[in-house]
């Protein structure tokens, strides 16, 4: 997983709250199950 992807997730979580952050984390995990 790239640092840019992590930054996007962190920013999205800060800006839009836990619901979007959790959804984004779930999507990232679906794309990269090994992470």
Alpha carbons within 13 angstroms on the beta-carbon side of residue 25 total 9
How high is the pLDDT of residue 18?
Answer: 73
> Around Cβ 8, how many Cβ atoms within 10 Å?
13
Do the beta carbons of residue 19 and residue 34 sit within 8 Å?
no
Per residue in 1-35, pLDDT tens?
688 888 887 887 677 677 777 888 899 888 886 65
How high is the pLDDT of residue 3?
Answer: 84
Distance CA 26, CA 33 (A): 10
How high is the pLDDT of residue 1?
Answer: 64
Sequence-distant (6+) residues with CB within 8 A of 32 are 1
Question: Token digits for 5?
Answer: 């992807």
């Amino acid at each position: 997983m790239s640092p840019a992807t992590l930054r996007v997730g962190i920013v999205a979580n800060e800006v839009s709250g836990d619901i979007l952050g959790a959804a984004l984390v779930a999507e990232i995990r679906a794309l990269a199950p090994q992470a």
